[in-house]
Amino acid sequence: MSNRKLYKEAIETFGGKAQTELLVEECSGLILALQRYKKEKHRKSGWAGIVAEKVADVEIVCGQMRLLFPDIPKYKKHKLESLEARIQKAEDTREQADRDMAAEGSSINAWNPNKGGNQ
């Protein structure tokens, strides 16, 4: 059975309201697992696998939400465009900082007698 058909059957069987409540529960489980993972990640505790399982749970219920809330793709597209813009801005900022540091370093070296610059 395709995912879409399975999602539709889940909504028809359990109801949209129940599945939206399930999303809240699954998100809560993911949040708790992520908090535990942050605390335990220096140990080989298996929390990475638990986080992966919780993400899968959330994704499955989110698939159902796409059927209940058909505007999700429109909002997702906008959010991804915003993320792309933020990434580009961060890269531009980092590149500018690198250029500034390089320029600052060359002007410092010009006055540093140990670097053979102007005195």
Contact between residue 40 and residue 47 where contact means Cβ atoms under 8 Å apart: yes
Q: What is the pLDDT of residue 61?
A: 98
Average pLDDT over residues 1-20: 98
pLDDT for position 107: 61
What does DSSP assign to residue 43? S
Q: Which amino acid is at 119?
A: Q
Residue 119 has pLDDT above 50, yes or no: no
Looking at residue 32, its pLDDT comes to 96
**pTM, whole model, 2 decimals?**
0.75
pLDDT digit string (tens) for 40-56?
A: 876 777 888 999 999 99
Which carries the bigger pLDDT value, residue 111 or residue 99?
Answer: 99
Does the pLDDT at position 118 exceed 80? no
**Residue 45: what pLDDT?**
75
Amino acid at 95: E
Indicate the domain borders of the chain.
1-69, 71-109
